Structure 1
Amino acid sequence: MAITLGFDTAAAAVAMAVALVTRWLMTGGAPPDSFFGGIVTTAIFAGVGFVSFYMLGVHKQVWRHSGWRDAVRIVQAVGLATLFFLPLVFLWNRLVGVPRTAIVIAVVIWLGIIFSGRMVALWRSTQRPLQIFFSRARPDAPMVLLIAQSEEAARIDSLMGKDEKGAKVRILGLLEPEGAEFGRKIRGIPVLGGLEDLSKVLDLLTLRYEKTPLVAVAGIARERHYMTQVLEVAASRKTEVMSLGAAADQTSASMLPVRPADLLRRRERQLDIEPVADMIEGMRVFVTGGGGTIGSELARQCASMNPQSLTLFDSSEYNLYEADLSLREQFPNLAINSELGDVRDAARVTRAIEQFEPDIIIHAAALKHVPLMEQNVCEAILTNVGGALTTAKAAQTSSVQKFVFVSTDKAVHPDNVMGATKRLAELTVTRQAVSSNFSVSMVRFGNVLGSSGSVVPLFERQIAKGGPVTLTHPEVTRYFMTVEEASALVLQSATHNGSPGSASLYVLDMGEPVRIKALAEAMIRLKGLVPGQDIEIRTTGLRPGEKMHEKLTYNHEEVNVIGIEGIYKVASKQVVANDFDEKLDELLDHARHRRRDEAIRMLAELVPEYRPRRAAE
Structure 2
Amino acid sequence: MRKENRFFVISDIIMVTMSLYIALLLKYDFMVDTRYIKLFKVSIIPVIVFMIIFNRIFNLYNNMWRYASIEELLSIVYSVSLTNIVFIVYSYILSHMKITQTVFYRFPYTVHVIFWMICIILLGGTRFSYRVSYENKKNREAVSENKIRLLIIGAGDAAAMLIKEIKRSKKLNYDIIGLIDDDEEKLGRLIYGVKVVGTRNNINKFCQENSIGEIIVAMPSAPEEDRKEIFNICKNTKCKLRTFPSISDIIDGKFNMRKIRDVSIEDLLGREEVKLNTENIEKYIKGKNVLVTGGGGSIGSELCRQISKFNPGNLIILDIYENNAYDLQMELNYTCPKLNKEVIIASIRDKNRLDEIFKKFKPDVVFHAAAHKHVPLMEVNPMEAIKNNVIGTFNVLRCCDEFNVKKFVQISTDKAVNPTNIMGATKRFCELMVQAFDKVSKTEFVAVRFGNVLGSNGSVIPLFKKQIAHGGPVTVTHPEINRFFMTIPEAAQLVIQAGAMAHGGEIFVLDMGKPVKIVDLAKDLITLSGFNPGEDIKIEFTGLRPGEKLYEELLMSEVALTSTEHKKIHVEKPMDVDMKFIESSIEDFKEVLKENDKEKIYELMAEKVPTYKRKKN
Q: TM-score, normalised by structure 1?
A: 0.70
| Equivalence for 1:452 | 457
1:350–1:391 Cα contact (<8 Å) kept: no
Whether 1:330 and 2:335 are equivalent positions in the alignment is: yes
**C-alpha distance in 2, partners of 1:551/1:462?**
28
**C-alpha distance in 2, partners of 1:227/1:428?**
43
Match of 1:442 among 434, 444, 447: 447
| Equivalence for 1:616 | 616
| Equivalence for 1:564 | 566
**C-alpha distance in 1, partners of 2:611/2:375?**
17
| Equivalence for 2:234 | 230
**C-alpha distance in 2, partners of 1:248/1:592?**
57
Letter in 2 for 1:588: K
Instruction: Say which SS state the counterpart of residue 579 (structure 1) adopts.
Output: helix
1:223–1:267 Cα contact (<8 Å) kept: no
Per-residue CA deviation, residues 427-467 of structure 1 (Å, 9 max, x unaligned), is: 01211122221212211111111111100111111111111
| Equivalence for 1:66 | none
| Equivalence for 2:353 | 348
Whether 1:474 and 2:471 are equivalent positions in the alignment is: no
Instruction: Say which SS state the counterpart of residue 479 (structure 2) adopts.
Output: coil
| Equivalence for 1:270 | 275
Structure 1 residue 163: Cα displacement: 8.3
Change in Cα spacing, 1:269 to 1:287, as seen in structure 2 (3 Å) is closer
Long gaps (5+) in structure 1: 1-138, 207-211
**C-alpha distance in 1, partners of 2:152/2:375?**
41
Match of 1:595 among 587, 594, 597: 597
1:412–1:423 Cα contact (<8 Å) kept: yes
| Equivalence for 1:362 | 367
| Equivalence for 2:547 | 545
Per-residue CA deviation, residues 569-616 of structure 1 (Å, 9 max, x unaligned), is: 11145555963431232013323553322222111111111112xx11
Structure 1 residue 323: Cα displacement: 1.1
Whether 1:524 and 2:530 are equivalent positions in the alignment is: no
Change in Cα spacing, 1:414 to 1:180, as seen in structure 2 (3 Å) is farther
Change in Cα spacing, 1:596 to 1:311, as seen in structure 2 (3 Å) is same
Whether 1:145 and 2:151 are equivalent positions in the alignment is: yes
2:474–2:539 Cα contact (<8 Å) kept: yes
1:283–1:360 Cα contact (<8 Å) kept: yes
1:380–1:421 Cα contact (<8 Å) kept: yes
Letter in 2 for 1:604: A
Per-residue CA deviation, residues 312-350 of structure 1 (Å, 9 max, x unaligned), is: 000001111111111111111111100000111111112
Change in Cα spacing, 1:140 to 1:539, as seen in structure 2 (3 Å) is closer
Letter in 2 for 1:144: L
**C-alpha distance in 1, partners of 2:309/2:354?**
25
| Equivalence for 1:430 | 435
**C-alpha distance in 2, partners of 1:564/1:279?**
17
Whether 1:406 and 2:411 are equivalent positions in the alignment is: yes
Change in Cα spacing, 1:593 to 1:246, as seen in structure 2 (3 Å) is same
2:391–2:586 Cα contact (<8 Å) kept: no
Per-residue CA deviation, residues 205-250 of structure 1 (Å, 9 max, x unaligned), is: 33xxxxx2411224448854443321112x2xxx322233259976
Computing the radius of gyration over CA atoms, which structure comes out larger, 1 or 2? 2
Per-residue CA deviation, residues 539-564 of structure 1 (Å, 9 max, x unaligned), is: 11000011011111001221111111
Letter in 1 for 2:319: D
- What is the Cα-based RMSD across aligned positions, in Å? 2.7
Instruction: Say which SS state the counterpart of residue 602 (structure 2) adopts.
Output: helix
Change in Cα spacing, 1:347 to 1:516, as seen in structure 2 (3 Å) is same
Instruction: Say which SS state the counterpart of residue 589 (structure 2) adopts.
Output: helix
2:155–2:196 Cα contact (<8 Å) kept: no
Structure 1 residue 492: Cα displacement: 0.5
| Equivalence for 2:288 | 283
| Equivalence for 1:252 | 255
Long gaps (5+) in structure 2: 1-144
Whether 1:513 and 2:515 are equivalent positions in the alignment is: yes
Change in Cα spacing, 1:363 to 1:467, as seen in structure 2 (3 Å) is same
**C-alpha distance in 1, partners of 2:495/2:579?**
29
Identity %: 37
Change in Cα spacing, 1:144 to 1:551, as seen in structure 2 (3 Å) is same
Structure 1 residue 140: Cα displacement: 9.0
1:245–1:255 Cα contact (<8 Å) kept: yes
Letter in 2 for 1:145: L
Structure 1 residue 260: Cα displacement: 3.4
Change in Cα spacing, 1:405 to 1:580, as seen in structure 2 (3 Å) is closer
**C-alpha distance in 2, partners of 1:269/1:595?**
45
Change in Cα spacing, 1:317 to 1:530, as seen in structure 2 (3 Å) is same
1:388–1:429 Cα contact (<8 Å) kept: no
Per-residue CA deviation, residues 270-318 of structure 1 (Å, 9 max, x unaligned), is: 3333322332111111000000010000011111111111000000011
Change in Cα spacing, 1:192 to 1:162, as seen in structure 2 (3 Å) is closer
